[in-house]
A and B are shown apart, each in its own frame.
Chain A
């Protein structure tokens, strides 16, 4: 039990002293996560919007597929991405394996369904009267589209935050395609796995608390941004 208390104090020390290894893991985590969230937003928001806004054949099936993808295990994604990025794999020539972008590729696969599904369900739950009101006010198709997009902005932010949480806390992808390389691809979660594996439980707890602290900062800044 002592290591929980130890871990708490170690976390404070790591943060206050700016331990270079911890800072490197924090930077790697943030780089990989923001890259993957960025790409997922570019792809996922339009996809989710189509899925929620328009009516088309096969919409239900598409929703089921996206919702199923929410359950993709991270180690499985890691293995798939490794198979593609390995020098023996079809994309081996890109030389991405064991780099931050490689982690981001995997994390994008993880985040994309989250953003797509949540964007779509935000549109679902949008007040149906909004559409009618807008049309009766004489809005054209374009205005209708942008107003709807504007109305769901907080839903998209919430989707991004949920995906961010999932991406920053995963360990399977980062370990498999990042390789947990010190100063390069060691994220906070792979560092926790490593320290735990070494029996350094207090260090592991400390790093876990550092990750929580980052999540807190991100959430506080988003709530400020919303106002």
Chain B
């Protein structure tokens, strides 16, 4: 008798758990970078997108390297990424069929107020070579994200290969906000997109332990684009939904929303869709 009740109990549990996961009629799956998610931009845009188009936006936030990989494997419908050279190669290789620039901000080099390497106000190339020369701690994402790709490019532009095993070169393998926290703990320098830096300042009540030391110049521009995957490579991809998202992001409403997305009175991203 008790045995029976025990078995029935187990059975009841199993049956009740068999119902899991619901399928939404129209849901767009996007892979995007940590910066668009960590800053809260997507949380702010997604409800508006759903309201206007009836499409639910789901996203997984990973580094640009992994986002491109997820697209290559057809696991998502659309990408919102920021690594123009890699994106152009991606289209050439036939993984995406179109790319639409939607917004930008810029990269900055941040470090402690004391500035032990003395890089404040220098150009990026000089600043990086000074940090290299003096062997001051530089914290890198080290995760093949858009920011990391850009940083490695800048090291090369500063003369010489990108650092790898140097004792002062710290590769975190983590997102931008984590990397900023690690940089502050280590009293080092790092390169970040301005949007994430403003978010970080905001978290520290406008008085972050890291200051912007190097900024400006075309080379530090950080362009975000929407990529629609190639339906020849990925026949199952929801191309119409992806196109709707791309068009919506470039439309007046979303562009206005992006311009209005501010923290501490500063814009995190500047819309620039053509």
Q: Would you give the shortest CB distance from A24 to chain B, in whole angstroms?
A: 12
Q: Is the CB of B175 within 8 A of A35?
A: no
Contact residue among B21, B34, B58, B178 (Cβ-Cβ distance under 8 Å from A199): B178
B154-185 CB mask vs A (1 if < 8 Å, else 0) is 00000000000000000000110110110000
Interface presence of A101 (CB below 8 A): yes
Q: Would you give the shortest CB distance from A78 to chain B, in whole angstroms?
A: 13
Interface presence of B61 (CB below 8 A): yes
Q: Is the CB of A98 within 8 A of B58?
A: yes
What count of chain A residues pass the 8 Å CB interface test?
33
Interface presence of A32 (CB below 8 A): yes
A101 to B175, CA, bound (A): 27
A150 to B5, CA, bound (A): 12
Q: Is the CB of A181 within 8 A of B203?
A: no
Q: Is the CB of A198 within 8 A of B18?
A: no
A34 to B181, CA, bound (A): 36
A-B contact number at CB 8 A = 75
Q: Is the CB of B74 within 8 A of A87?
A: yes
A198 to B203, CA, bound (A): 9
Q: Is the CB of A150 within 8 A of B3?
A: yes
Binding site for B on A (CB under 8 A): 31-32, 34-35, 37-38, 41-42, 86-89, 92, 97-101, 104, 146, 150, 153, 179-182, 184, 196-200, 225
3 A-B pairs with the lowest CB-CB distances in the bound complex, closest first: A179-B60, A34-B17, A87-B74
Binding site for A on B (CB under 8 A): 3, 6, 9-10, 13-14, 16-18, 20-21, 29, 34, 38, 43, 58-61, 72-75, 174-175, 177-178, 180-181, 200, 203, 234, 236
A sample of 28 cross-chain residue pairs with beta-carbon separation below 8 angstroms, ordered by A number, consists of A31-B20, A37-B17, A38-B14, A41-B14, A42-B14, A86-B73, A87-B74, A88-B73, A92-B74, A97-B75, A98-B29, A98-B60, A99-B21, A101-B20, A104-B20, A150-B3, A179-B60, A181-B59, A182-B58, A182-B59, A196-B178, A197-B177, A198-B175, A199-B178, A199-B181, A199-B203, A200-B203, A225-B9
